[in-house]
Structure 1
Amino acid sequence: MMITDKLLSDAKFYGKLIGMLFDKEDLVSSKIKGTALERRLTLINVDPEEYPDYLIRLTRGLIPTLSVITPNLDLVAIIESSNVEYMITSLKDVVSEYSSGKINPVRIPEYAPEPMEASEASIYEAINRVVDREPADFRVIELVESIAKGEKRYSSITKYINPLDQISLYYLGRGELKGNFAIYEAVKAIKGENSDIEDYISEGRVFRSSRKENWGLLTDEAIVGYALLIRYLREGNDSDLNQAIKIKEFIKSNLETEKGFRDVVPKDPLTNIVYLEPLANAEAAVFLSALWQATEDEEAKGMTYKALGIAAVKSGYLAVSARIAHALLRLNHGIKTSVPGKYDDVRVMFNKKVECKFKQGDKCSDNLEEFHGLGLEE
């Protein structure tokens, strides 16, 4: 928590604006120290990787960015530049124009769109975008590899994969994950490699990083929860399932709204602004659909559909459509197994209650190959 009630009340008392600098390194404070600008502005450096919840509310997603707000959380200006001198000059102009009444601040809006119905068309949407070589994150790659394995007509689509980032390259076995973030440890676990994922979990609460400053982000909760379930699928240890259930309960207690799920647990006046982020809700749907398979918990299933409703609002984005596709494959075409193992199929989940080796709907089989097709229309 960086924007405290005390910070806001002090800024209001002294007539100051608040500058939020989103960059890994603060190169601005030293240059305005002792100047008139410092007396009119409280500057806070925000690590954008540690605080994506601040980033999404105060920027357009570009880094570096300096966002200027009032003590009432009205947005005055957004300055985007990697040139420090330009940023400071622009900041001086903003403060001057605000003081003279030439800038009318705007309220930082909530984002709570009306839910839409998710469709299996997202499966084909994801496939087509991958074929068009749109950059693919690890979740897209996971889906595409599973589809290529399960549907002969799509067996060659993996050759079109264009990895988006460091995590994608790692997932493909082409790089390393450098940094102490919960998401990194979760992806390691999903990939079946050694992971310190437990170090980031406390009774369902997931810390963003080893710094343990920020916590309770929906994306982190969902990816870590899913990683625990994949380990449960491979090894069958109840401890992993129990931790995943606690994460689901944490999400329900702290992030659920009438329409969908908040992007983060509200901890201060800024994060108290409701934001139902579609990509985070799509990630939650992946986790919750897998949990429903493992437990047959109807509450988890209902939460999955709620998350999908918000995700569907941005289904035109590859990262979102792939996650929608993943969740719907589990909900509509899922396969439960009574035998833990490494299956590399996004439809499969371990469930101790299953009375046969593999079960899809009402059909049982001793061979996963009998469910080779994904059940999609030609």
Structure 2
Amino acid sequence: MSDRSGWESQLLETGFLGIFLCPLWTLSRLPKRTPPSCIVLWGYRWLIFRIMLGAGLIKIRGDRCWRDLTCMDYHYETQPVPNPLAYYMHRSPGWFHQFETLVNHFIELVVPFFLFLGRRLCIAHGALQILFQVLLILSGNLSFLNWLTIVPSIACFDDASLSFLFSSEKGGVKTQVMEIQANEDAEGNEPPLPYGCYIRRVVNVSFGILIAFLSIPVVVNLLSSQQIMNTSFNSLRIVNTYGAFGSITKERTEVILQGTSSLDPNDPAAIWEEYQFKCKPGDLNRRPCLISPYHYRLDWLMWFAAFQTYEQNEWIIHLAGKLLAEEKEILSLLAFNPFEGRQPPRWVRGEHFKYKFSRPGGKHAADGKWWIRKRIGPYFPPVDLKGLRKYFKARNWPYPAQN
């Protein structure tokens, strides 16, 4: 089963590991006899290892620009939903973009192996991965993906490395942990464990065996020259393969949806008005948005549709039908409906444009434009509700009814 983003699979795997992280039968803030299982902690480390190494390998095996260090020349402008910082980062000098690409390769291809090289390098791995994710959060709108990737990185730290986060006051968590550790170090001071702890150990060992078994096809995929990213090899989807940006688009194209009240869509005098999405580029004067960790899935799907055809994305015709009917649920996904308070449009069409960032301090930026664009041509022809009836019926889609 393949998933374009892999976020759902990563969220599922992260949450599944969390089930086994805490004891089941106690609500104690610091249960003395049931510390987090080392197997689960290594499960999280194995997860971050696969996420980062998978992302690094898919890049180095994929688009040539990752090997010649030019991908970052395009990434900020062509990523799914750029944010304000990306506008300025795009204009960084070429040597800086090359440095960014080298750092990316180091973080994704070298640093993951720090996990297996002792405590200090394991902690360094966690710190570097969290820093890397923070930089990605600042420079892009990749939804909750980067925030989610921070979670398994926390498993790289032990109590000593995190102790500075807690107060040293008497009776505090830090003091309690130190007392527990001191008692454990004292010879002959360990009381017999209750049966529940042995049951938990059996469950954790069984869980570890399951993870190891399900990891076999994942490891084979990582070693394969035909690596597949964001794929599950089991129906449970709890041990997956990950990857991101194996290829980079060199130009940004956008699908702009427009509507008109004209009786004849081919009339040169017809006035076409544009719908605006909540975050994706459209209005040239609108500043790139900042939405992370939130996710506008429709905006993201429009990015995919822009470098494909509407025949490959039939859902966009479905969307056009909903806009013609002015269904409230669909309009709630948009930032601006040009026909609000008026009669619905008679026709909706998709236009294809090439978008580029304006140059900071340049002529277009001085006019308040964050983007400049050039029309490529039609994306899909004008459609009306009557003409879409057969199209919807052939696909067993509910025919949209006007409110």
Structure with max Cα Rg: 2
Same fold (TM over 0.5): no
The normalised TM-score by structure 2 is 0.23
- Greater relative contact order, per chain length (Cα 8 Å cut-off, separation 6+): 2
